[in-house]
Amino acid sequence: QVQLVESGGGLVQAGGSLRLSCAASGGTFSNYIMGWFRQAPGKEREFVAAIGWNGAFTRYADSVKGRFTISRDNAKNTVYLQMNTLKPEDTAIYCCAASPRLISPSAVDYHYWGQGTQVTVSS
């Protein structure tokens, strides 16, 4: 059983930056593909980014490509999401998730989820 805890959310002005962290425990972190998803009020959960076991492979949603960067530190059991040039439409609860198999944009492929951290971008 893997436990995931996100941190780093907050309120930022448009154009600003935030770095989210997700700390994992209870499993072998390097065995899991890690992803970030977000859900805005009244909207469905959407894929943001994912990273492979050793960080060599990444995948991004088109809406964040070029602005967000996912990375991981297996020695610290932590995955990060660096978010630059934030826009009001990036406002959402951001959750990290762990998948044992696929770098996938589909939430059903992720077995473990954190509670999320709120990101609010003001215009």
The pLDDT tens digits of the residues spanning 37-53 come to 999 999 999 999 999 99
Q: What is the mean pLDDT of residues 8-22?
A: 98
For 8-114, strand residue ranges (E) read: 10-13, 18-25, 33-39, 46-51, 58-60, 68-73, 78-83, 92-99, 112-113
- Give me the pLDDT at residue 101, please: 83
Give CA separation, 118 vs 58, 59, 86, 93, in Å.
23, 22, 14, 4
Q: 90-114, pLDDT tens digit by residue?
A: 999 999 999 998 889 999 999 999 9
Report the pLDDT value the prediction gives residue 66, as an integer from 0 to 100: 98
Query: How much is the pLDDT for 103?
Result: 86
What's the chain's Rg over C-alpha atoms? 13
- Which pLDDT value is given to residue 1? 86
What's the chain's length in residues?
123
**Which of 86, 99, 81, 105 is closest to 22 using CA atoms?**
81
Task: Report residue 52: phi and psi, to 5°.
Answer: -75, 180
Rounded CA separation 123/105 (Å): 28
For the segment 51-87, what is each residue's pLDDT rounded down to a tens digit?
999 988 999 999 999 999 999 999 999 999 999 999 9
27 pLDDT band, cuts 50/70/90, is confident
